[in-house]
Structure 1
Amino acid sequence: MTLAPGLQARLLIMVEREDTAAKVGSGDVPVLATPRLLALAEQATVQAVAGALDAGQTSVGTRVTLEHLEASPVGTHVEIVAELTGVDGRRLTFGFTARHRESVAATGTIERVIVDRERFLARLPR
């Protein structure tokens, strides 16, 4: 597989209490937390390119824009779709959308950079 725009991944979750703003500390209401939504969107970007990276490569997140438009209460099914929209050398740009029922719950973009996993880990402070 080649890294090219159009690669995508789709996640479907049901919002559970562990996913809520009240549980993760980003608010006090029982709806899908924005940080949890972002984590799911990032998970979808990782899955979208997983089969296209060379052995020893991974990608790391570098920039995010997210607009959380509607609340998703506990029990709601939410589908997150991430699509690779741009490749510029090692920089990957994704668009994502989260939908619940027939509505758009969130949209955004995520940038990731392809790195050599071992070299990346070797540079971490000890």
Structure 2
Amino acid sequence: MLLWLAELACMRAIEGTLEEGRMTLGFAHDVQHLAPTPLGWTIRLEAALEKIDGKLLTFLIEGNDGSERILAGRHTRAIVDRDRFLSRFEEKSCSHV
């Protein structure tokens, strides 16, 4: 769950900046889950774009639960053509028996 929330933080960090018809997909994670957080606590995840390498965007990510740092590391997202990706996804979905 924490990794998915980190991905969402990265997507929100670049929201509205991609060219029309582009989207990002999770490509790699290099993170450490540093501490547990009790059920019901509020966590805060922050993402900052660190590097652009062609179509790869690398973000520094950090999570905190108000008591301590719970997540730290990097997440990389790939910029892809939305229509091409959805077409490949649809082809794959239809080919599954």
The verdict on a shared fold, with TM-score over 0.5 as the criterion, is yes
- For residue 39 of structure 1, what is the aligned residue in structure 2? 4
Q: Does 1:57 align with 2:22?
A: yes
In structure 2, the partner of 1:22 is none
Q: What is the root-mean-square deviation of aligned Cα atoms in Å? A: 1.0
Letter in 2 for 1:62: F
- 5 Å-filtered alignment, 1:17-28, equals none
Alignment partner of 1:123 is 2:80? no
Kindly tell me the number of residue pairs found equivalent between the two proteins: 91
Deviation at 1:75, TM superposition (A): 2.1
What is the percent sequence identity of the aligned residues? 35
State whether structure 2 residue 40 is matched by structure 1 residue 100. no
The normalised TM-score by structure 1 is 0.69
Post-superposition offset of 1:77: 1.6
* 2:54 equivalent to 1:80: no
Runs of 4+ aligned structure 1 residues displaced above 2 Å come to none
CA deviations 1:31-65 (Å, max 9, x no partner) are xxxxx110100001111112110111100011101
